[in-house]
Amino acid sequence: MQHKNKITTLFLDIGGVLLSDGWSPEFRQLAAEKFHLDVAELEKRHNIMFITYEEGKITLEEYLNRVVFYKKRDFSFNEFRDFMFSLTTPYPNMIAFIKKLKVQYGLKIVAVSNEVRELNF
């Protein structure tokens, strides 16, 4: 007896698939330009701290205090955080495509993410 393999579930990453990619190098570059930060210093500090943050071992506030606010700035924590959040945007065409696949093939859709929760909302 021959069995047809039927795909029943589609697992999707959120960052870079359904939404823009959280806190990517391009977004850090934009932040550095907007807030007049040294890009090399931002990247160096980010590389040291991000995995710890991404694994949930420190909060966003702790991450930013170590990466951006380790010295006095002429902008606030909230201004910087709000800018970070504004960079996460949906990919409407991809979302519409996934919805179409779900209906057309009766798929279950499971969204997974390896990014920090705050950057995907």
Kindly state whether residues 39 and 81 are assigned to the same domain.
yes
Q: Are residues 81 and 66 in the same domain?
A: yes
Task: Judge if 97 and 52 occupy the same domain.
Answer: no
Average pLDDT, the chain: 90
Q: What angle do CA 54, 28, 95 make, to 5 degrees?
A: 70
Q: How far is CA 61 from CA 56, 73, 97, 109, in A?
A: 12, 15, 36, 32
Give the predicted TM-score (pTM) of the model. 0.78
- Kind plus residue range of the DSSP H or E element containing 120: none
Give the pLDDT confidence of 23-74 residue by residue, as tens digits: 899 999 999 999 999 999 999 999 999 999 988 899 999 999 999 999 999 9
In a shared domain, residues 51 and 65: yes
28, 81: one domain: yes
